[in-house]
Amino acid sequence: MQPEDKLQQYVQQGIHGVPELKKEEKQQYLGQFRERVIKVLTQEQVLDPRYVDGMIQAFQDPRSDHLYIKTSMHSTEKEEKIISLLTTKAKKVKIPFSFMDGDAYPGKIVVVLAAKEAVDEPNIQVKASSLPLDFYQNRGKTLCKNCYQEVVQKYPQYQEEFQQAGFWHRLFGYPCPISSRHTND
């Protein structure tokens, strides 16, 4: 840079102030630099318990330092419940959290788990369960033979989270909780 250019720059900065470092990037990540981000949730993901649980699991990451949650005047009851779940779980593991004003952060990301320093995490996507949502929400339950077999064949790693309806269940017309698989019943 020529000395005159440098002088010009100082003059410009004197007039307009020093440009904020990586302003757009920080806006995307609720005020955080990308290099500090460990995991994020988008607006869509935050309504899916598989992703929310994945984020809660990420709290165990020893680099976790702070949780940022975007809030809005227009949050639905469901969104508020999820926010309350996230903050309760964060408190349990002593991760402080901040609510960020939705108007200041118009991007799709609504939750950011951040480290104290740069960690340059290559994968900031939350790892979510591969179970279909209706199966995921009925873990621990007893399934009909067909649904149970679907778990055994497609998601064997989750097999132990379900029971198969036995003789007595079938005799008394046990209603399988996987309603999406039984629309024609």
Q: Is 67 in the site for Zn ion (CB under 5 A)?
A: no
Rounded CA Rg of the chain: 23
């999406």: which residue's tokens?
Answer: 180
Please, what is the minimum distance in Å from the beta carbon of residue 128 to Zn ion?
22
The two tokens of residue 54 are 């994945």
Q: Is 147 in the site for Zn ion (CB under 5 A)?
A: yes
Q: Which of 176, 174, 173 is nearest to 162 (CA)?
A: 176
Q: State which residue, 19 or 156, has the beta carbon closest to Zn ion.
A: 156
Angle, helices 77-92/49-58, rounded to nearest 10 degrees: 20
Please, what is the minimum distance in Å from the beta carbon of residue 177 to Zn ion?
8
Please, what is the minimum distance in Å from the beta carbon of residue 50 to Zn ion?
19
Q: Is 144 in the site for Zn ion (CB under 5 A)?
A: yes
Confirm if 49 and 135 have CB atoms less than 8 A apart.
Answer: no
Q: Which stretch binds Zn ion (CB under 5 A): 61-69, 100-108, 156-164, 171-179?
A: 171-179
Please, what is the minimum distance in Å from the beta carbon of residue 52 to Zn ion?
25
Please, what is the minimum distance in Å from the beta carbon of residue 24 to Zn ion?
48
> Residue 71 and residue 66: Cα distance in Å, rounded?
16
Q: Is 83 in the site for Zn ion (CB under 5 A)?
A: no
Q: Is 131 in the site for Zn ion (CB under 5 A)?
A: no
Q: State which residue, 110 or 143, has the beta carbon closest to Zn ion.
A: 143
Using a 10 angstrom Cβ sphere, with 0-12 exposed, 13-18 middle and 19 or more buried, the burial of residue 39 is buried
Q: State which residue, 114 or 144, has the beta carbon closest to Zn ion.
A: 144
In this structure, the number of other CB atoms found within 10 A of the CB of residue 65 comes to 16
Question: Applying CB under 5 A, which residues contact Zn ion?
Answer: 144, 147, 176, 178, 181
